[in-house]
Amino acid sequence: MIFIPAIDLIDGKCVRLYMGDYSRKKEYADDPVEVAGRFRDEGAEYLHIVDLDAAKDPQKNNLKTIERIVKSIDIPVEVGGGIRTAERVKELRSIGVKRIIIGTMLVRNPDAFKELVEKYPELIAASIDAKNGTVYISGWTESGGLDAIELGKMVRDMGVGTIIYTNISRDGTLEGPDVDGIRRMAEETGVSIIAAGGISSIEDLRRIKQLEKYGVIGVISGKAIYEKRFTVRQAVEVLK
C-alpha cells in the first residue's frame, strides 16, 4: 500500500480546508514546490495535488504552479479539482501529470467521462466524494444526487481502474478515517481504492492497511502531516 501526501492549492499556496469549507481555510506554506520536494526527500513515491481554485470555479486554476511542482520532482503526480473538459485533461497530461482525478464531469456528463477513460485508460481516475453516503461535486458545494457505492459500480463498468474515495465529513478534521465506508467501496465495486479523509495518526494508517486485502491500494493525507501528527517517512514505512 502506498502513502500519498497531499498539496491543496489556493492562489498558489498550500492550504487545508475543514470538511471542504472554503471559509475555514488554513494556510501552511507559501511555496508548494518546496513542500513537494520535502515530501519527496522523506520517501514519498507519489504526490496528490488538488486545485481548489479550479474546483470552485473552472475559470480559475493553478496550472502554472502545478507544472512547477511536476517539473521539480522525479515522482509521479496526480491532480484533481475542476477538471471538467477534455481540454483541461490534455493540458495536465502535456505538463507530465500521471493521474488525472475527475468527479464533477463524471456526475454531470458521464458520456464525456467515459470517452476520456477509453482514450486514456491509465490516466483517468474517478473521484467519489461523499457525505452521508451521497456524492458531492463542484468543490463539494452541491449534491450530485447519487449514492456513492452506486457511482462506484458505474465507474467500474466504465473500465475505471482507480477510485479516490473521500468521506467529506471527515476531511480536514483529524477525526479518523471512515474505515467501514472505505471497505464497502472496495468490496462492492472491486475497483482499486485510494482512501482520503480524516487521517490523524499512525494508528489510523494501520487500520486502513488492514483493508489492503479488499483492494485498498493507497492513502492520501495532508493535514496530519502539516500538523506534525506523523511524518511522510513514518507513513510510508507503516503502509509498506
Cα separation, 6 vs 101, in Å, equals 13
Residue-wise pLDDT tens digits, 88-104:
999 999 999 999 999 99
Higher pLDDT, 21 or 229: 229
Catalytic (active site) residue 74? no
Contact by Cβ (8 Å): 17, 24: yes
Give me the CATH number covering residue 98.
3.20.20.70
Contact by Cβ (8 Å): 124, 98: no
Contact by Cβ (8 Å): 32, 5: no
Q: What pLDDT is recorded for position 35?
A: 96
- Please tell me the total count of domains within the chain: 1
Asked if the model's pLDDT at residue 206 lies above 80, the reply is yes
Average pLDDT, stretch 197-212? 97
Catalytic (active site) residue 8? yes
Grid coordinates in use for 29? Answer: 506554506
Q: 157 phi and psi, to 5 degrees?
A: -70, -20
CA proximity to 18, closest of 201, 222, 229: 222
Active-site choice (51, 53, 129, 178): 129
Residue 234's pLDDT band (boundaries 50, 70, 90)? very high
Four-residue CA torsion sign, 56, 60, 61, 62: negative
User: Which residue range(s) make up the domain with 144?
Assistant: 2-239
Q: What pLDDT is recorded for position 174?
A: 86
CA proximity to 72, closest of 116, 35, 111, 118: 35
Cα separation, 157 vs 155, in Å, equals 5
Average pLDDT, stretch 213-223? 96
Per-position b or e across 158-179, b if 16+ CB within 10 A of its CB: bebebbbbbbbbbbbbbbebbb
Q: What pLDDT is recorded for position 59?
A: 85
> Max Cα separation, the chain?
42
